[in-house]
Structure 1
């Protein structure tokens, strides 16, 4: 995609349905698309030289290395940048959505507990805020809180939820029109009647969100509680990132009906099919400027992140033993020799 080349960026795409994170990189030969397995990657966050992946039981933080990339033993000189695991937080299954780096910490929405959480090494998570209509901090997914917009100071300002409900999975009954946008500082419902909203973002001081079940990108005036449709797209919209004059939106074919219910959503009505992929929009007009279609068993996109640098990007999962051989120093990198299994002896008392 020429837009990525012009921005000097690459794109990370998460699909929890396919259990992959896909790196789309602009190269001299065109667009490179590299899928790598991760366990239910629900959310992504990028900040400078860090990438966070919110997965099934954990939050993983990776960092890039240009020094290690050329010598990657499995594919020498294949990548210009290689993303490697640096930190791992075991959260348990709290259904993490929409992670974000702020003020030196990682925050996310703990959807199962209906709250904003800080991710650290003191507990599964530290609760930061919950909507005033949720009375108890319990693992009941009472409102399906799923999205978080930070202000310029890194403080949470707005959240999205699939319902202003206060009982276990109470949002499911009204999922088609019960979605809300909530102001964090005062707990006020800014906008209601939404269809499964996600991904609120303050972009250039303007509040945007995805009215996912309608396939809409909205611009919202929080003072008046009104919304303008910037774009209508042929897919269930989830995952929104911005850079310069461009918005990138993830789209899904919506094969998983458990969250959406049996009745067709507005985005499905009158359409033969939906697409799965990423579209690039003009931030001002909403005009579609480019599109990446995803195939090969990927039907749903859960989140997006923009990564610095063009050229082919690679990534290693912490479950892949190859990452243990990658020895990264600031500005340097060394690949350790793989151990010879015949020379490894068991510790006393250890079984083979």
Structure 2
């Protein structure tokens, strides 16, 4: 078994230098860290996480916190892709990923509390943004470092990663309207009032100031009823811009059943999920690059471990998105 002493002997530096280098301490230069890590890798060194955690008073684990029930949702491609991006960066840093889930906010809160108090987890990524969030307050009280996915209501000093959803909403709307020469596009969202939905709606209105908006209830069956009633009364609608693929898919299906004037509405939505693939011809989706969002969340989370010269003062990272190419039916 290779020890830190063995690596120190091989590299010609003190044990303390090896220890700090392997822990990514900002006190050690990038060049020295890279050299020592290369030697450790070549020697087959395996870090003793238990000992390191005891020394640092912090677990080598990052907690990823879901909103209630989201982690159990089979169609939540977005969250899964986020996790892939997060985990790819954590593996490179020799950190583990653990999730906090629950059927309600109380269960999620208790899971996070256990991570903090029993697991010594001090770094978290929240996959939601909520005002006056008790979980965020708990983490602040315990001096945890937190990154949020999605623009928070009160940014201030909150670390977050997101897309420019206003611009994405505007560009997606203009693209669909221009491609299909639409006269009466409809923006469809939910009543959940998520910030990303509001921002995409704002973008829609920037492109279509007089455009109609339909907000759906949370319940699936109620959503179908609202859409059915709406399309039976609004035969002028000739295109759909939806806040996400699932909503877009449902809206388009209801339009096909209850809108005789335009049975196959061209639709554009967000997330590039399985719903977009099921949508078929003239259903397009904006790729918000969730893996990149996850990767950037981790980079921001560990910004405090960089040297002073490497650290960025930015409190947020805006990840680009990718508009669909019309006529490409293969994706």
Structure with greater strand percent: 1
**TM-score if structure 1 supplies the norm length?**
0.25
Structure with greater helix percent: 2
